[in-house]
A and B are shown apart, each in its own frame.
Chain A
Amino acid sequence: MEKEEKVPLKKILLICSKANLEDVYAALVMGNGAVMEGIETKLFFTFFGLDAITKKTMNKLHTATTGNPGMRMPGGLPFPTMLGGLPGVEAGVSAMMRKQMDALDIPPVDEFLELITAGGGEIYACKLAMDMFKLTKEDLHEEVKDIITVGDLYEMCDGPGTQIVFT
């Protein structure tokens, strides 16, 4: 019987298109984890995901308190959707979440980007979304390497052992 050869993961491209705290951190944790393993890593931020690399918004990301069935009160009781809609509740819950993450040594977004690039990971912004939201390079964090098109992105994905993950 022919033996199937295993190709180890050599390169990963993570696409983040959402601004929710949990979606952004999923991309950042996976990206940083890949860098830690010595895997060539590229992160591509598009649409609302641009919030994660925009200086003004990056450290103030929110988690949704309405329309989020996973949301619970501290202690595990259900979180009423009506309550989630009150002014300030989402900001408060999000701040609490960020505080809890900090206690676990999970860095804020800007520091996380620096950690990823320190290990050789690369951060990119989507050109189309930048145009749509009328953003310029100056609005983005210094760790963003370039603003690229979808064609540029696919060109970066050559080689065996490459994976693309969309979050």
Chain B
Amino acid sequence: MTTKTIAGLEINVNDEGYMTDISQWSKEIGAEIAKEEGIELTEKHYELIDFIRNKVAAGDGLTIRGIGKSGVVNAKEFYQLFPGAPLKKATKISGVPKPTSCI
């Protein structure tokens, strides 16, 4: 395990840059990781990040379909918020492990 300085703090990350300690996350850290991914976080992003963090904390798996039914965004909006690879980017920014889902 390596550490990385994000928003002035030493954060535990894996070799792909995913945070390994969900409790170290803060809004500032999220914003900093998002910037590295080329994303400027808005209120909507934070709302979705909350949803993702709660889901992971509850031990549930994440899928694009599930996020599309979250009531926060639909699948299309999710792709617009995190362009490219939304599930990978959103989880990275949310400070949760990379999802293992195929769908």
22 contacts between A and B (CB under 8 A): A29-B102, A29-B103, A32-B103, A33-B102, A36-B88, A37-B85, A37-B88, A38-B85, A105-B61, A105-B103, A107-B65, A107-B103, A115-B64, A115-B65, A115-B68, A118-B74, A118-B75, A118-B79, A119-B64, A119-B75, A119-B76, A119-B86
- Cross-chain contact A105 with B63 (CB below 8 angstroms): yes
Interface residue count on the A side (C-beta < 8 Å): 16
- Cross-chain contact A36 with B65 (CB below 8 angstroms): no
Q: What's the nearest-Cβ distance from chain B to residue A150, in Å? A: 30
With a cutoff of 8 Å between Cβ atoms, the chain A residues found around residue B101 in the complex are 105
Write the residues of chain B forming the contact surface with A, with a CB cutoff of 8 angstroms. Answer: 61, 63-66, 68, 74-76, 78-79, 83-88, 101-103
Nearest CB to that of A107 among chain B residues? B65
Please encode chain A, from 103 to 144, with 1 for each CB lying within 8 Å of some chain B CB and 0 for all others.
Answer: 011110001001100111000000000000000000000000
Please encode chain A, from 90 to 108, with 1 for each CB lying within 8 Å of some chain B CB and 0 for all others.
Answer: 0000000000000011110
- Cross-chain contact A36 with B75 (CB below 8 angstroms): no
- Cross-chain contact B75 with A114 (CB below 8 angstroms): yes
Nearest CB to that of A33 among chain B residues? B102
